[in-house]
Amino acid sequence: MTAKILDGRAISATILDRVTKEVDEFVREHGRVPVLATVLVGDDPASHTYVRMKANRCAKVGMQSRRIELDATISTETLVAQIRQLSADPEVDGILLQHPVPEHIDERAAFEAIAPSKDVDGVTRTSFATMAFDEGGFHSATPGGIMALLDAYDIPLAGKHAVVVGRSPILGKPVGMLLLARDATVTYCHSRTVALADHIAQADVVVAAVGRPELIRGDWIKPGAVVVDAGYADNSGDVEYDAAAERASWITPVPGGVGPMTIATLIAQTIRAAYEHEREKA
């Protein structure tokens, strides 16, 4: 069997086309352009690239981005104060704090300085809770993008055994919650998991969210499984792609899979925030 491709590039383009129309309508209706603020701490080149891609994608759909770049040595207090200022700024609709921040900074405290109404990247505990309770808040961007990609191809999830590898607060943990909400039976694996290969071999759906190139070997994959690779370390996924594609029914490429869906989700949630923002003013 050769897996079919879950084409994140194509599906994200469809989403961005829709958002372009929504932005156009928003501008006509409200006489202003939605604004996404991006906050980057330090000078990690990969993080710079991701933030630049997000800003470019904003421009493409007609939204504005405001880039805030901070020195790697700033304190948690300074970062929190900066983000609070964006939270209070009536011109800003969405805020993205690029993860990871330098180790001396309390990342959770920085995320929590984002006003929940502007948490278009879905990283606050408010967003996590509304997502977990299925109350319609903003989804963490990558998990939201993964679900949108699976839905675009009508991948069935109810009753399926989903194995999520990784449990970080903005990726592994929330994607498992979203799969659970769709009636999948969910197993989380992480760095202390014993016999990862045996868990993967049981999975109808595998979501890899670790950041270790080719950690997941192709011959672990159950024939016919759906493989979603969110890993993005050194531009490489977590799954041994060619060998996995021989066994899987569907697979995401890297690049061209989860990455573009993440950005599309962020952008789609930003126009939604802008509309909600205007509704509050009215």
Ligand X SMILES: Nc1nc(=O)c2c([nH]1)NC[C@@H]1CN(c3ccc(C(=O)N[C@@H](CCC(=O)O)C(=O)O)cc3)C=[N+]21
User: Per the annotation, where are the binding residues for NADP(+)?
Assistant: 166-168
> 3-state class of 67 per DSSP?
strand
The secondary structure of 155-210 as a DSSP string is ---TT-EEEEE---TTTHHHHHHHHHHTT-EEEEE-TT-S-HHHHHHT-SEEEE-S
Question: In the chain, where does DSSP find H-type helix?
Answer: 8-30, 45-60, 76-88, 107-112, 125-132, 141-152, 172-181, 196-201, 241-247, 258-281
Looking at 35, 113, 189, 264, which residue binds ligand NDP (CB under 6 A)? 189
* Nearest to ligand NDP of 65, 262 (CB atom): 262
CB of 53 to ligand X, least distance (A): 6
Task: Using the rule CB under 6 A, give the single segment among 33-41, 64-72, 84-92, 93-101 that binds ligand X.
Answer: 93-101
What character string, x for contact with ligand NDP (CB under 6 A) and - otherwise, covers 131-150?
Answer: -----------x--------
Catalytic residue (one of 82, 98, 118, 173): 98
CB of 64 to ligand NDP, least distance (A): 22
Looking at 171, 178, 205, 266, which residue binds ligand NDP (CB under 6 A)? 171
CB of 18 to ligand X, least distance (A): 18
Q: Please check whether residue 8 is in contact with residue 256, taking contact to mean a CB–CB distance below 8 angstroms.
A: yes
190 contact choice in ligand X, ligand NDP, none (CB below 5 to 8 Å, kind-dependent):
ligand NDP
110 contact choice in ligand X, ligand NDP, none (CB below 5 to 8 Å, kind-dependent):
none
Q: Please check whether residue 74 is in contact with residue 42, taking contact to mean a CB–CB distance below 8 angstroms.
A: no
* 206 backbone dihedrals φ, ψ, rounded to 5°: -115, 130
The secondary structure of 127-144 as a DSSP string is HHHHHHTT---PPPHHHH
Catalytic residue (one of 7, 119, 121, 238): 121
CB of 27 to ligand X, least distance (A): 26
R_g of the chain, CA atoms, integer Å: 19
Q: How far is CA 273 from CA 2, 18, 163, 223, in A?
A: 40, 15, 32, 41
Q: Which of residues 136-195 bind ligand X (CB under 6 A)?
A: 141-142
Contact positions vs ligand X (CB under 6 A): 50, 53, 96-99, 121, 123, 141-142, 232, 235, 254-256, 259-260, 262-263
Contact positions vs ligand NDP (CB under 6 A): 142, 165-168, 171-172, 189-193, 196, 209-212, 215, 230-233, 258-259, 262
